[in-house]
């Protein structure tokens, strides 16, 4: 099977934190996912010492040779190796993340790798991977210097919408039309319906920062179709303003991430079994 070569940087940022083999030893992967081991040993193009280490051990296991014990090595004596500590596993992905500016704002739970981050003197904005549920997560917050966060909001964008947003922002620095997305959870607000609303719009070339991304969370109401609409004023609302250049940076980062994720899916999963998206 011929597949496209993916760099180690792309693998570390997009494939390894999200695939079903996370935390598994190379010995386990050899027995249960030989195609993935072949990719690690043959196709991966390392770009740093950690990448070379991973590839070297993968080649040893792929060729049937015993491994030298190491933190990332496969098990010896036929015993399953303990998964590396979360701190060690995360290190291989840290090179693709921006350095924290505010520890409270930048904190990540490890389940949603960062795709793009931006901070102003009043707000922070993170775009994160929630592709396990077919979404892109927008995490935003407002804060005051010396006082911490005053409001935080979360919105989950469908992959199909995220593709269009990424393309428009990357190419045009704006959207072809105002984007409004209504989401929610039936029991997300103290056991009651939670409404989530995301708006992205262009204020025009007269504005220094024309692209506005605004998200609001608050009480919701379930409609007859099962959707959730806002019910009253939001309990938290945050907006961040981007220049066209910043909007294009966001667009390119999101577009590249989605393309790498889709390529990895094609490599790790036979096309005929892929569903959703």
DSSP the chain: ------BHHHIIIIITTTSTTTT--HHHHHHH-HHHHHIIIII-B--SHHHHHHHHHHHHHHTTPPPPP-TTPPPSTTPPPPPPPHHHHHHTTGGGSPPPSSHHHH---SSS-EEEEEE-SSEEEEEEEEGGGTEEEEEEEEEETTTEEEEEEEEEEEHHHHHHHHHHHHHHSS-SS-EEEEEEEEEEETTEEEEEEEEEEE--TTSSS-EEEEEEEEEEEE-TTS-EEE-SS-SEEEEEEE-HHHHHHHHHHHHHHHHHHHHHHHHHS-GGG----
- Mean pLDDT of the 164-177 span: 93
The pLDDT of residue 97 is 37
- Classify 106-258 by CATH class: mainly beta
Domain extent listing, the chain = 8-92, 106-258
Looking at every residue in the chain, the average pLDDT score rounds to: 75
- Mean pLDDT of the 221-238 span: 90
More confident residue, 59 or 250: 250
Q: How confident is the model at residue 195 (pLDDT cuts 50, 70, 90)?
A: very high
Ranking 75-79, 185-189, 196-200 by mean pLDDT, the lowest is 75-79
Q: How confident is the model at residue 47 (pLDDT cuts 50, 70, 90)?
A: low
């Amino acid at each position: 099977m011929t597949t496209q070569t993916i760099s180690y940087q792309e693998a570390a940022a997009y494939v390894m934190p999200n695939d079903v083999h996370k935390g598994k030893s190379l010995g386990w992967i050899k027995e249960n996912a030989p195609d993935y081991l072949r990719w690690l040993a043959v196709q991966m193009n390392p770009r740093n010492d950690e990448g070379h280490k991973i590839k070297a051990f993968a080649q040893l296991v792929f060729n049937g040779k015993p491994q030298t014990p190491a933190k990332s090595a496969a098990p010896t004596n036929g015993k399953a190796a303990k998964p590396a500590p979360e701190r060690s596993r995360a290190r291989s992905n840290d090179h693709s993340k921006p350095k924290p500016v505010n520890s409270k704002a930048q904190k990540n739970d490890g389940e949603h790798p960062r795709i793009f981050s931006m901070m102003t003197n009043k707000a922070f904005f993170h775009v994160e991977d929630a592709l396990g549920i077919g979404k892109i997560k927008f995490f935003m917050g407002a804060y005051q210097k010396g006082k911490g966060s005053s409001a935080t909001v979360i919105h989950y964008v469908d992959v199909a919408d995220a593709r269009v947003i990424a393309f428009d922002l990357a190419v045009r620095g704006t959207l072809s039309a105002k984007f409004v997305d209504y989401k929610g959870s039936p029991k997300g607000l103290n056991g009651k319906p939670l409404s989530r609303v995301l708006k992205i719009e262009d204020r025009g070339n007269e504005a220094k920062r024309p692209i506005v991304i605004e998200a609001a969370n608050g009480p919701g109401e379930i409609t007859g179709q099962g959707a959730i609409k806002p019910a009253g004023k939001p309990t938290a609302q945050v907006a961040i303003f981007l220049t066209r250049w910043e909007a294009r940076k966001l667009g390119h980062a999101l577009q590249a991430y989605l393309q790498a994720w889709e390529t990895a899916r094609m490599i790790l999963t036979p096309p005929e079994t892929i569903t959703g998206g």
